[in-house]
Structure 1
Amino acid sequence: MSLEELKTSKKVVGTKQTTRALKEDKVKVVFIAEDAEKHVVRNVEEISKQKNINIIYVDSVKKLGKACSIDVGAAVAGILKE
């Protein structure tokens, strides 16, 4: 799984949307920005680990936001299951 796949796949962006999708078992992989505030991403990280969902760490929120085709940074994103 790469950032390129994130650009072209159906996805959720942001902690709220990603958390909701994780709880509904709709996510196949999670991307987390390494420079994001830890308290912001902690819940997503914990749920992902509990559900054995792969976590891919990205260098920065800016890079993750760009990969999600948004003009602002993103701390968390997830690729949805087909």
Structure 2
Amino acid sequence: MLDETFKQAKNKTVGLKQTQRALEKGLVRCVYVAKDAESHVLRPIIEWCRTHDVEHQEVPTMKDLGKACGIEVGTAVAAVLKD
């Protein structure tokens, strides 16, 4: 499940495009990816995290991740931003 770091974070991104933009700007501390999201969606994000030494964690479902983000739909990717 999601750790308290994500739930307590004030600055987050929700969704693929927002998270990609934040990664490109070097603003991301940790990325959360849903295990049940399509692999072609997750692959570039996970690869970016590996090559740029950004922590990433898996979440069981898109629905769980969306709920933790405070939205009523699922999301494949979310991130906690640096302070």
Q: Structure 2, unaligned stretches of length 5 or more?
A: none
1:7 matched to 2:10? The reply is no
Does the 8 Å contact 1:19/1:43 carry over to 2? Answer: no
Listed as ranges, the matches of 1:9-28 within 5 Å are 9=9, 10-28=11-29
Determine helix, strand or coil for the equivalent of 1:40. helix
Percentage of identical aligned residues: 44
TM-score when normalising by structure 1: 0.92
Residue 38 of structure 1 corresponds to 39
Count of aligned pairs between the two proteins: 81
Determine helix, strand or coil for the equivalent of 2:6. helix
Q: Distance in 1 between matches of 2:67 and 2:61?
A: 10
Determine helix, strand or coil for the equivalent of 1:70. coil
Aligned-residue offset at 1:52: 0.6
Tell me how large the CA RMSD over aligned residues is: 1.0
Q: Distance in 2 between matches of 1:31 and 1:41?
A: 10
TM-score when normalising by structure 2: 0.91
Aligned-residue offset at 1:67: 0.6
Deviations along 1:3-31, one digit per CA (max 9) or x if unpaired, are 43223311001111101100100000000
Deviations along 1:13-59, one digit per CA (max 9) or x if unpaired, are 11111011001000000000000001111111111111111111000
Q: Structure 1, unaligned stretches of length 5 or more?
A: none
Residue 65 of structure 1 corresponds to 66
